[in-house]
Structure 1
Amino acid sequence: MTADESFETLAGASRYSSEKGVYASPYSKPSAFFDDILKIVSEQQINFLLPVTEASTYVILENRDKLPKGLILPFSEAESIEHLANKNRLFQLAQSLDLPTPHTLYIESIEQAQEAIANITEYPVVLKPFKSRILTGGEIISTTVIIAHSREEAEAALKRRYFREFPFMIQSYIKGEGQGLFALYSQGDPLCHFSHRRLREKPPSGGVSVLCESKEVDSRMKKISDTLLHHANWNGVAMVEFKVAEDGTPYLMEINPRFWGSLQLAIDSGVDFPYLLLNSFENGEVAPIDSFTVGQKMRWLLGDLDRLYLVLKSPAHQYTRAQKLLELLRFLLPNGNTKHEVNRLSDFRPFIFELKKYLRDLRS
């Protein structure tokens, strides 16, 4: 069964979604959302609950002691999650363990932020909120990482509520390729690893992956990930995100203590994390997976189209005409062993749903 804020959803459009449920928004009505979840769990006799978005995950974890006895919620305890989800704490831990991180300033007040920005001489810099979603009394505040290319852009970012009222970091910008290491852990011990690299992102300067590729697990990234996840006594899945600089150094960017956007790539490559996670929590053991298909690609078609549009409309100082033409050719030409994230013949209705929404958004 799948559930969301309406019956018309991407996951609900799948042929594999036998039933659909509706709940209140976890963003604006977290208490009503959790009440709806309890109702669905009771009516459908759910025994394995898997929140996927950050908002739904945070609200359910905040209220996990109110869940029915025997219901499996495949997440670590609150303190372990805070080790990873709180980016300020995560980077302080990484630095104490002498792991490669961008140069970081920890900001606790707007006055400290203004003073820090006044003394920055090299741009771009990255303003990173301490959490991606901030759960306050009656709502969830969504945050965004800001790449500031000038002092003016950095000062403009401080107008956002989550920079004015909550801790955050100012970090040096790492130029390089985005790579991720995915892992399944049981009580601090690894059961399997998977790795990918981002070939194209939206926006092009860095963001969500629109074309990615499975790659061999890098020993340095594995060591960093294992060190942090073991330290947190992690239990469940996690994605450790890196920027790999030109000299090959993998710099820690963040850790997502839940399923990630490119999950389908791991499944296509032979590591079925959802199935393994279920077995881990239901049966207590999983046979380790030592290998997977390397070089498997996955493309989010409509996201890739958006990326192309951003490149083509960008000013000349960012992309020359030759570079824009090259990006157009890359978009149009086949890309090797590539599968699509949404538009699949075996389950085509989600793509129809996504395409209709995409076209509606263009007209609005």
Structure 2
Amino acid sequence: MFGQALLVAFVLAALACPAAAWSTKEHIQLTRLAVMRLLADESTPAEMRAWLKTITPDLTDMAAEKRFFMSNRIGAFPRGADGVSFWAVAPDLHAAADPPESTVAPFGVHEKLLHYIDLELLHPDQSKRTYKHDLSHKPALADIPRDRTDPRYKTAGMLPFRIEDCYKRLVEQIRLGRLADKPGQFPRDEHAQKWAGYLAHYLADNTQPQHNTIDYKSATYFPGIARPPNAHADVEYRLCDDEYDDYPALREKFWASFVQALEQPKPAVSGDLWESSLRVSLISYDALPMIGRAAAAAYPRAEGKGRVGPFDAEKFFLFEGAFLGRKMTVLEMKAHQMAWAVDRIASVWRQAWEEAHKPQDNPPGP
């Protein structure tokens, strides 16, 4: 009975939690695809290849990944995920289930605040700390302090700091030779496999546009609606892992667009990991007007004040707007951002591996 109650509590928390970015199903898939990308790259060191195969027992191929996307149901729990794919979902499990008073060191905030960065709250002008459709309240990179003790981060979220932190922990575990869980190695859950998964999770969160704004549900686009719909969930779970519809035609369109996006160049982001993560946030932020307008089109006003009508998936995902200097649909934007996540995960993992194998002036003791 207790276990059943805990399960219900977790599901309710997961549904209410603003931290979840891409769906559980997508985090699993993006992580596996990053592994596949590195294994397909002939320049990936042999030792790294061996490690990636060890930590990805559920490794597949692109044909199997398409079948997984088109028909598998995962839900909030990582059904069937193992190795690094499981660890790539663990941050969302903690965000949903950890007690409200719990904090993550060294940040001193709840896990859920590590999944996003509400850029508007870091604007130097207090009157501009809200979302605006014309993007006029988006701060400049120079406006954002690199001081995690700035009190605004307690509300705005700490995603760039968490990405940097996970990277450092991954490098440390690789240097120590703690590449994966094994009997007799303690603490059992402290190893490179775990931190590669955590890092993959936050890097993917970084490319979800709604994880960069205070208006993460696009509520601005539903004035006068007492309970606006959750466009955040529509961007993430709706297409790939909906409880009530598989949307086969839209999934087919998305997969074709996603495969194409995997091979296309992505926006260049310079600087160290903290700065480059913020640049990803600032670029991704520009997709918010398109998402908001698509949501408004997909949820027509129903009769009666303060209500919206049923969701129209085709109107939402095939809605056209401007992003990255060109016209695209919401579906194509989602494909681009998820492909960007795969690129970022693979490249940052590779960077961590190479840094861990550089000679050190003061190597850690045995």
What TM-score comes out, normalization by structure 1 length? 0.25
Greater relative contact order (Cα < 8 A, sep 6+): 2
